[in-house]
Structure 1
């Protein structure tokens, strides 16, 4: 974040504002952690701030401090629309294209507010008046920590802020194992613990609150795993019928795609999840090393993200989608065997 943008942001926040903070649709730990961390910081500065989520999010994130104040656009759209229309500042966190907020998009496009983007994904859009974009960062939560520090208020990070930001850093770094995890990331995490983040509790709340149905669904996913050794690739499929028969709840498939990368010799892992309500196959891509799933998802599956973690979708049926995916692998055999 350059000095001009820091000064412009501080000037805006030096007077009372009506602020809306927005994560992407289907928010994950980094999206909820960063928006709520920023929410607590702004509230502590006396600002009128509200987080509006495009839709619901997993139960394992609903312990987050201040969770009860999040407005769900799908469930309370009239209130959310009024807040957006009245906002003087809108922060968009953990996404960089308004298409990532689905049905909220037209209301943000009509908004008269000043837009501030904080995000670490590639190829940002140009809708924001103030943009803090850095693809090298581990998480948007680490960026919110930096944002608060840029404004000279690192000493104002309290336990609520620390717990929120630690959550997103932990989840978006794969518990500090991804390549985006730097020594700075660890120093930030350490400072958050010093400021009150309960790292043991956070890990337990996020990873150790499984239901029997989720573990049964995981067993189904692992049974469906296809390993393609010639391409150092593993992929999982889950049909709508399999989701329904295992009492699927939002967030239950979180992290399933990563199991493929635990196999020796696998550097490319994918999960295909059927969503009949939306009429799509939702896809998550993960990789190790230099193979860019961001480019792969962008070119073939209407998606994108990071070099080693991306998402996409397909409008074809599940079997056709996986067949198409398999047909693509020969074109990438050299890269996957590098």
Structure 2
């Protein structure tokens, strides 16, 4: 992938303005890769204007905040999209307004929308890829504790604190190197895991309202009236997708939240490929962690049956 790194850096050197996007419903890796790349480029090219844009996520506000820029900033700009498999999932639809468009990602490449597409499906996270790029250009000594904090949190988020099977020896090596920087990694991890006390009754609801069959398939259905009862917005409910992950015998589970216009389904598994089912229903993602949106609960039941059939 060295060729793609060189092409990406050539575009970065040419540009005076760089705008970095990531996916909707951002997670720690989306924030970490985007903001970590922004900070790195700011340090490497202080003369350039570098922005990060997209919707905000309150639970990740401690990692940083996106920039608010006008459309005219895109004139002649280089746009880089991090951690986003397909164009419809890019947060902020202005990504096509720039002069050049690049993609850096670790999801299976369902949509190569960039002029240059760096996709490494063996990487644990896009934050891992950003560190590899920094390392490739011998810039590790240039980065600071903020870059290290952001990339570390991105890697931790997508590996489930190094517990998921996408954690490789290379991932652990990068994690160790990032810990050499003087940021309070315990505080950062605590911030990543903390939940607002008002959310905990909902966690109890999830633990009492899942269904699990004898094959190891489970589902959680969060309807609009449940959200109203616990005074939650859909993004807050989605934080609990792994609440039932430790149940003995569990192999595949789907966590569905009614978001009004659609039902967002987060699909997880323990070693069983499920992104093929997600793709069949118009979604996608990793082999063991995917997502899809369906129009109603009847369609959700069809999705659940397809997932159950994998067992």
Alpha-carbon distance change, 21 to 330 in structure 1, aligned in 2, over 3 angstroms? closer
Q: Which ranges in structure 1 are unaligned for 5 or more consecutive residues?
A: none
Alignment of 1:256-271 (within 5 A): 256-271=240-255
Aligned counterparts of 1:147 and 1:251: Cα–Cα separation in 2: 31
Give the deviation of 1:101 after TM superposition. Answer: 2.1
Aligned to 1:203: 189
- The match for 1:324 among 293, 296, 302 is 302
Structure 2 unaligned runs (5+)?
A: none
Aligned residue number for residue 72 of structure 2: 82
Equivalent residue, structure 1, for 2:52? 51
- The corresponding residue for 1:160 is 146
Where do 1:135-214 residues align within 5 Å?
A: 135-208=121-194, 210-214=195-199
Matched, 1:235 2:219: yes
Q: TM-score normalised to the size of structure 2?
A: 0.93
Q: Is the 8 A contact 1:52 1:80 kept in 2?
A: no
Q: What SS is found at the alignment partner of 2:24? A: coil
Aligned counterparts of 2:76 and 2:207: Cα–Cα separation in 1: 46
Question: In 2, Cα distance between the equivalents of 1:120 and 1:272?
Answer: 24
Counterpart-to-counterpart distance in 1, 2:140 and 2:173: 13
The answer (yes or no) to whether the contact 1:293–1:304 under 8 Å persists in 2 is no
C-alpha change, 1:116 and 1:205, in structure 2 (3 Å) is same
Aligned to 1:13: 12
SS of match in other structure, 2:237: coil
1:295 aligns with 2:276: yes
The structure 1 residue matched to 2:87, chosen from 98, 109, 131, is 98
- Looking at structure 1, the residues matched to 158 and 51 of structure 2 have their Cα atoms a distance apart, in angstroms, of 23
Residues 154-184 of structure 1: per-residue CA shift (max 9 Å, x gap): 1112100001001110010011011110111
The alignment partner of 1:259 has SS state of: coil
> Equivalents in 2 of 1:329, 1:35: separation in Å?
32
Change in Cα spacing, 1:101 to 1:173, as seen in structure 2 (3 Å) is same
Q: Deviations over 1:301-324 (max 9, x none)?
A: 3211000000001102x3x24432
How many Å separate the matches in 1 of 2:53 and 2:165? Answer: 31
* Distance in 2 (alpha carbons) for counterparts of 1:49 and 1:40: 8
Contact 1:235–1:260, Cα closer than 8 Å, also in 2: no
Match of 1:219 in 2: 204
SS in 1 for 2:132: helix
User: How many angstroms apart in 2 are the aligned matches of 1:9 and 1:101?
Assistant: 19
Partner residue in 1 for 2:231: 247
Q: Deviations over 1:30-83 (max 9, x none)?
A: 000110000101111212100011x221x231112xx24x13xxxx5xx34333
Cα distance per residue 1:276-332 (max 9 Å; x no partner): 1xx11000000011x212111111x3211000000001102x3x2443234335632
| Aligned partner of residue 256 in structure 1, secondary structure | coil
Give secondary structure in 2 for the equivalent of 1:49.
Answer: strand
- What TM-score, normalized by structure 1, do the two folds share? 0.86
